[in-house]
Amino acid sequence: MNIAKKLLGSLFFLVLILSGYQSAQAQDINFNDSWSFFNEEAKGAEMANFDDSNWRKLDLPHDWAIEGPFDEKYNARCGGLPFHGTGWYRKHFKTPESAKGKVVRLEFEGAMYDAHVWVNGKFVGNRPYGYIGFEFDISKELKYDGSENVIAVRLQPQDLSSRWYPGAGLYRSVWLKIDEAVHVAQWGTYITTPTVTEKIAVVQNETTVVNKSDQKASVTVKHEYFAPNGEMVASVEEPIEIEANSSKVSGLYCKINNPLRWDTETPNLYSALTTITQNGKVVDTYKTRIGLRSIAFTKDGFFLNNKKIRFNGVCLHHDNGALGSAVYRRADQRKLQIMKDMGVNAIRTSHNPPSRVFLELCDELGLVVLDEAFDVWKKAKVPNGYNVFFEEWAERDIKDMVRRDRNHPSVIMWSTGNEILEQGDKKNGWKVAKMLNDYCKEIDPTRPTTVGMNNYTAPYESNFAQQTDIAGINYKPTKYAEIRETYPELPIYASETSSCTSSRGVYHLPIEKYKTHESIHVSSYDLIGPPWAYPPDVEFHFQEQNPYIMGEFIWTGFDYLGEPTPYGGKDNSTNGYWNGDWPSHSSYFGAVDLCGFPKDRFFLYQSHWTTKPMIHLLPHWNWEGMEGDTIPVYCYTNCDEAELFVNGKSMGRKVKGKDLTELIVKFIRYEGETFQSKYRLSWNVPYEAGTIKVVGYKDGKEILTEQISTAGEPAKINLSIDRSEIDADGTDLAYVTVRIEDKDGNICPMADNLVNFSVKGAGELIAVDNGNQISLESFQANHRKAFSGMCLAILRSSKNTGEITLTAKSKKLKSSQISITTK
């Protein structure tokens, strides 16, 4: 992944530091500070002399829609939030005289969406797709005499343009890049590893060098490679000549002995420092982070460094709950760490290109990535979707995605689309599929292409599936054997699975498979879903029956804003709003809720995907008024056996894989209405208040326990924080978990107390949440009701070092306080 000359700092201190190398000729300046914002039409706001003194002042990243308010006039399918309309951003700055005669570019990592950009009143360009990065050369539009420059950006997200919450605004970082006439192009390195073994890695570097001068340039291109410990392990260089106002690719390779390979267990990262020298002077430096690894896909599976790896994968939308679409490194890091804890080793970026930061983190954490371009092509799923831009922009957008992301070791496949409506079009669908496949291969032939297909058998019969390297199968576990028999040489994997839904901490009795529930929540007994959906156990079974399947990507790892299935509407529908079950407005699909709090399903996946001993018990044990009634108790564990105790009395010891749990199952293409699951243990227990405890055994020995006690009345607030120290950089985050407990420290599973927050010190409260899919409380408030006994507060550091102290209070409860250091 390219970390192209990255530097936080003032425009007046233009020094780039890369691994100990300094160059005064090339600078990247983070341009996130001090923007002015206005969330309406503003006639003339593109002009330099426009008066924006009364506009709101803010720093990026910024998502205006997440500020709300929730309202039934907005589409619940897209989170019930005001993401559409017009938003203006303006920034005033001065360019030093020393930048005159150089190449100055303005880079946006993403802008949601239909961005139009002006510099000093002059239009410099437009980019419709909100998920792709872009830059403009603004050298000729700037003033270099010490007077003020103005950037103006207009964004106009459209209603009915997305099937989920897209966010709005300058939600990713902006950069000002100052270079000499000769410099490395945007995303200008392409580093591959044709050979990687235990003993040697061949590293091939194709670097595009731009010459924007009117004279031929003779330069030397040098690459130095640094091991994860910072030691230089290889160096290679060559002289090249570049014609005036053109570019040239320098192709060099070198060998690295005894490479530390990148994989999911040890994600070793090397760096390549590219130096461009002209007339003995360094004119540009460019740093690229890489991983030395090999990938291969066959009909028998996926191989990373010649080792077969199964995808324990999740699909993830790009929002981060209460933060909306704004990209904070810590938010994505926490999200991915939670997924790793579940046993995840693979991510599908559904259904759009992810942020640069997201892929950096996947590189660091050892997560392989299916990098996806589009949700639609020409045929619309919603009236104003990407189909509006496809004809004009698809080629550039997908090529830019591949060009930007092709150095990431984590990226292993390019997905050109998701559940594309053209998949059954025998006349034209295959032609578009081939076109997009060819665009990807033109930029990067080292990785395969894929498409997530949900309409089996249509894409095979229409020649659509044959235009991509690897078939992605959505929600067809019962058809794996048939597909293999019909297409025996075709590599396949499950690109979307399960679509089970639930609300954290909510249990409906008796257990039954319903379409919707009067509570507008979904039971956490992990079996409810829409007509195409099924419990995770079913996928586990068919994956085991068909071991050549490369693995699965569940829908989804986290809850996300919008698409409140099974409430509100029908997927892939262009019939407009999904507000029939308002206030339901966010996803129930996640194994983790919007807050990042695991649901029970998280532990079902963990029990199947991890080997470190774990055990989980459900439901809660507060069933007042149901004394003597039968309560189904489930245990998710990777132990050999488990024994349940109720108030010290054994309810029996059960063997994993032998003692089965009958699940009510009914979904498309499945015969029957039940499934005998070997993946969860269960007991039917007459309810009596007290304690239930489960004991896990390995090789006949007790190794761990978990217990749940009947909670008394809410008595106190318990706060816990995810880290003890964060960076004082104005963007780092701390997540505070809030639990409502009884006097003995038991969580109160029904508690919905209103908690009020106050913050002092070197930071601020930027968001609150509780994971409740029907809550209309503001994410921006200083208070939040608990949901199933819990809620969340998110703190953001200032640029001052010190301490942040959060105080949480609620009527009739003992308050709590917690602090974190910023450095």
Residue of 180, 224, 372, 496 with catalytic role: 496
Are 86 and 161 in contact by the 8 Å Cβ rule? The answer is no
Tokens matching residue 5: 């000359």
Q: Is the peptide bond before 783 cis (omega within 30 degrees of 0)?
A: no
Are 368 and 311 in contact by the 8 Å Cβ rule? The answer is yes
Are 768 and 822 in contact by the 8 Å Cβ rule? The answer is no
Tokens matching residue 528: 């409810």
Are 749 and 504 in contact by the 8 Å Cβ rule? The answer is no
Q: Which 3 state secondary structure label does DSSP give 778? A: coil
How many residues comprise the chain?
823
Q: Would residue 107 show up in a list of annotated catalytic residues for this protein?
A: no
| 301-304 and 307-309 beta bridge pairing | antiparallel
Helices 429-443 & 390-405 angle (0-180, nearest 10): 30
Q: If we measure between CA atoms, which residue out of 28, 341, 330 comes closest to residue 184?
A: 28
Whole-angstrom Cα distance, residue 241 to residue 430?
A: 42
- Please count the CA atoms within 13 angstroms of the CA of 289 that sit on its side-chain side: 26
Largest CA distance in the chain: 90
Helices 600-609 & 536-545 angle (0-180, nearest 10): 20
Q: If we measure between CA atoms, which residue out of 83, 86, 77, 81 comes closest to residue 779?
A: 81
Whole-angstrom Cα distance, residue 124 to residue 405?
A: 25
Amino acid residing at 577: Y
| b (16+ CB within 10 A) / e for 605-619 | bbbbbbeeebbbbbb
Are 309 and 574 in contact by the 8 Å Cβ rule? The answer is no
Are 115 and 124 in contact by the 8 Å Cβ rule? The answer is no
Q: Name the β-bridge partners of 747.
A: 741
Specify the DSSP element, H or E, that contains 364: helix 356-365
Whole-angstrom Cα distance, residue 577 to residue 157?
A: 16
Q: If we measure between CA atoms, which residue out of 266, 286, 261 comes closest to residue 276?
A: 286
Which CA distances in Å does 451 have to 434, 471, 533, 698, 794?
11, 6, 20, 41, 36
Among left, alpha and beta (phi > 0; psi -120 to 50; other), residue 635 is beta
Angle CA(307)–CA(313)–CA(319) in degrees, nearest 5? 140
Residue of 109, 224, 360, 419 with catalytic role: 419
Tokens matching residue 437: 């496949």
Sign of CA dihedral 180, 186, 192, 198: positive
Whole-angstrom Cα distance, residue 497 to residue 555?
A: 6
Rg (alpha carbons) of the chain, rounded to whole number:
27
Tokens matching residue 102: 């150089």
Which CA distances in Å does 506 have to 517, 621, 665, 720, 788?
12, 12, 20, 23, 7
Write down the H helix ranges in 366-479: 390-405, 429-443, 458-461
Whole-angstrom Cα distance, residue 713 to residue 756?
A: 19
Are 332 and 61 in contact by the 8 Å Cβ rule? The answer is no
Q: In what order do the strands lie in the sheet with 200-211?
A: 182-196, 200-211, 246-257
Are 679 and 537 in contact by the 8 Å Cβ rule? The answer is yes
Q: Would residue 662 show up in a list of annotated catalytic residues for this protein?
A: no
Q: If we measure between CA atoms, which residue out of 327, 435, 309, 305 comes closest to residue 378?
A: 435
- Active-site residue numbers? 419, 496
